[in-house]
Every structure is written in C-alpha cells, then in structure tokens.
Amino acid sequence: MATMADVARRAGVSVATVSHVLNGTRPVLPHTRQAVQDAMDELGYTPNTLARSLVTSRTRSIGLAVSAISNPYFTEILQGVEAAALEHGYSLLIADPHDDPRHERKVVQLLHERRVDGMIVAPSADPRELIAYLGRHKVPTVFLDRVVDAPADGSPRFDQVCADGAEPVARLVTHLAGLGHRRIGMVAGRPGLSTTGERLAGYRDGLAAAGLAYDERLVVHGDSESAGAEQATAALLSLAPPPTALVTANNAMTIGALRALRDHGLSVPDDIALCCFDDFAWADLFSPRLTAIAQPSRDIGAQAVRVLLDRLAASDAPARTVRLPCTFMHRTSCGCAEQPGRSGPPGSPDQPGPPGRSGRSVRSEQGEGAVEPPQSDSPEPPLMSVKGTAS
C-alpha cells in the first residue's frame, strides 16, 4: 500500500505538507494541494483514519440518534444529513433511541464512546438525562426536529434545527374554517414533544383567527403513531355531534386516521374533510389527494450538519435555533376542487382565486350518514383510496 511518504515524493512536497492537506491543520497553496491530491489518486493512497484521528483528535464522524428511522419523514432527514456529511468528508454512526428516555441516554453514550466529533439528536419527550449527559461531557450537539426548553433568559443551551410548527397548523385550521367548518378536530402527537406542543398551539391560534371557540373534546392524542391515531380518531367520531373536519399532526397519524374513517364508512372529503401535517411521497396518490403541510425534511438534515460543523469550528459561539419554513400543499382532501399546478394556500400569489368545493357541501354539525362513493369506470380501484378498503 502507498504511504504518506510515497505521496510526498510523487508530489514533490514534504510529508508534513501532505499531512496538512489531509487534516486541514494548516493552509496550503491551491496548486500544492492539487499536486498532493493528484499524487494520492495516481498511487491509490487511502488515508489511515485512525492515525489521522490521533493527530487531529477528530474522527471526522457524526453520531445521529433519530427515532422511527422507518418513518418517511425521518428517512428524508437522514438522507439530508448523510449527503451534507459526505460533502464535508464526514461519516455517520446511526442509532435509534426508540423515543425512550433511558434508551436515548444509552445510545448517545455509546455514540460518544465511539469518539464521534459531534452529535445530531432528535430528543425524546423527556430528554433530561440526555441533556445532563451532553452538558456534563461537553459534547457538541445539534437537536433536530424537536427543540428543548430554553433557560429562563430565553437563550437555547444547544443548537437546534427544526421546521416551523405553529403557523402551518394555524393555516390548515383557518383554511378549513374558510370552507365552512365549525367543528374541527385535532389528532395531536405524543404529549411532551415540542412538536406536539407547537402544533397544538397552532391549532388554537387558527381557531382564534377564525373566530371559533376552543373545545378540548375535539383534541385527542394519537401518540405520534398510526395505531394510536386510529383509536383517537374513533373517539372523535363518537362525539355528538362529531367533527366535520380533521387535522392530523404527522404522517403516521394520518394513516391511522384514514383507517378509522374507513372503518366508520366515512368518505373524505364528502363526509369529513382532512388536512395533515407532513407531506409524503404517496400523499398525491390517495383519492382524494391529501392537503398537507410539507416540511423541508432534507434541508433540515443538511442544515443540522452545517450548524454542527459551525459548532465544531467555534465551540464558544452562542447557541442558535434555526427554523425552516414549510409549504402548504393544497390538494383536494380539504374539500376544494382540483387545481392542477397549484400548491399554495388560497389567496397566495400562485392561487389567487377562491377555493372551489368538491361538489357536496360541508356536513352539518348534527351529522349526516355516510355517502355512497361514486361508481368508477376503471376496472381497478385507485391505488390508495380512503373510500375503498385500501388504507
């Protein structure tokens, strides 16, 4: 195998210069850097990562602790983290804390013991042990998606990257209210998560903006999972009168809510309107197409890496919280007519006209029976349908 000395001889430089190019420990002139890189390519030289870490006290690795990696939202975040890490020459070590505070503390310690340079963590609903460990060991950390409580002075203790949570949900609620709904139910996530609190705050803000009273009976918790949302939605539908519209707080709970609506023989949006927080790849394949809030998942992951690298470069800089904007994906499950090529909310520049209706009025608060779905000329049912048996 080629050695660093071989590279130095081929490039006509010192071994120290090759080391500076590899480790970034000192500025090197561009033409010299290129000569070293060309020599490495010609010789097939592979840097010894372990030896480099002894010199720099850096492993050029990042620990990522994210629950529910199978969730499409977190999968896209992972793709953003991986791409940005690779771009900057970092590798990833990944662990799933399972949203369990004790397990979370354990996997973060294991990542730390692997000598990662820093961590990106989506904290659980009770991250006290996690925060204590990270603070005690001064681990450079960026909290992802979910933020932690700030001290009394309002300044965050850790860097944080997430999407806007409250305003997008308020937008969904005011949109449904503008379509005539007065009983709008909310299937919220796991209590204790910052995302749950923010989206509930947005729900209440939306009601207030629409002049609607808050009714605690219309808010249920689906535990951020499909099965929990299915049960929670069933509880909402048992109310007298039931809600005429639903807002679900993440993509997994949207699936659970759809199952509950199917089991109760309800059609979306003819019997009940539906809007969801989180867009996902197949939301456009449901019939009707799901009106949703799309989070910039990959950008969140990539931004978390950039913030972490900034922290590694300036450990004493004040912690910061970065919030990225979401996008309103205006489709038809809210009860509006199909409007090809438009994704903004009613009244936005790309959608100046008032929303249409789907052919049937909003169900009254007293509730009507389920409406029979229209017959289709197609020999096969839609790929994903909330009117048939698919879920």
Separation between Cα atoms, residue 235 and residue 216, nearest integer Å: 13
Q: 306 near 324, Cβ under 8 Å?
A: no
The reply to whether the predicted model has a pTM over 0.85 is no
Note the pLDDT of residue 148: 87
- Residue 283 has φ and ψ, to the nearest 5°, of -60, -30
Q: Can the peptide bond before residue 47 be classed as cis, meaning omega within 30 degrees of 0? A: no
Element containing residue 199 per DSSP (H, E): helix 194-209
Separation between Cα atoms, residue 154 and residue 284, nearest integer Å: 40
Note the pLDDT of residue 276: 96
Q: 186 near 218, Cβ under 8 Å?
A: yes
Domain ranges in the chain with CATH number 1.10.260.40: 8-56
Partners of 327 in the beta sheet? 294
Radius of gyration of the chain (CA): 26
The closest alpha carbon to 223, from 245, 195, 262, belongs to 195
Q: Which residues of the chain carry a pLDDT beneath 70?
A: 48-58, 69-70, 149-154, 339-391
Separation between Cα atoms, residue 154 and residue 177, nearest integer Å: 34
Statement: 8-56 belongs to CATH 1.10.260.40: yes
Domain ranges in the chain with CATH number 3.40.50.2300: 61-162+297-323, 166-295+327-353
Look up the CATH number of domain 61-162+297-323.
3.40.50.2300
Q: Can the peptide bond before residue 269 be classed as cis, meaning omega within 30 degrees of 0? A: yes
Separation between Cα atoms, residue 94 and residue 4, nearest integer Å: 31
Residues 6+ apart with CB under 8 A from 302: 80, 81, 83, 84
Between β-strands 327-329 and 245-248, what pairing exists: parallel, antiparallel or unpaired? unpaired
Note the pLDDT of residue 149: 67
Separation between Cα atoms, residue 238 and residue 158, nearest integer Å: 43
Note the pLDDT of residue 121: 96
Separation between Cα atoms, residue 187 and residue 256, nearest integer Å: 10
Q: What is the pLDDT of residues 204-237, one digit of tens each?
A: 999 999 999 999 999 999 999 999 999 999 999 9
Tell me whether residue 280 is exposed, middle or buried, using C-beta atoms within 10 angstroms of its C-beta: 0 to 12, 13 to 18, 19 or more. buried
Task: Tell me the residue ranges of DSSP E strands in the chain.
Answer: 61-65, 91-95, 118-121, 141-144, 159-163, 184-188, 219-221, 245-248, 273-277, 286-287, 291-294, 321-324, 327-329, 384-385
Return the half-sphere exposure (C-beta side, CA atoms, 13 A cut-off) of residue 58. 17
The closest alpha carbon to 98, from 128, 69, 140, 134, belongs to 69
- Cα angle: 148, vertex 150, 155; to 5 degrees: 130
The greatest distance separating any two alpha carbons of the chain, rounded to the nearest whole angstrom, comes to 85
CATH class label, 166-295+327-353: alpha beta
Work out the angle between the directed axes of helices 226-237 and 251-263 (0-180°, nearest 10): 50
Residues 6+ apart with CB under 8 A from 354: 346
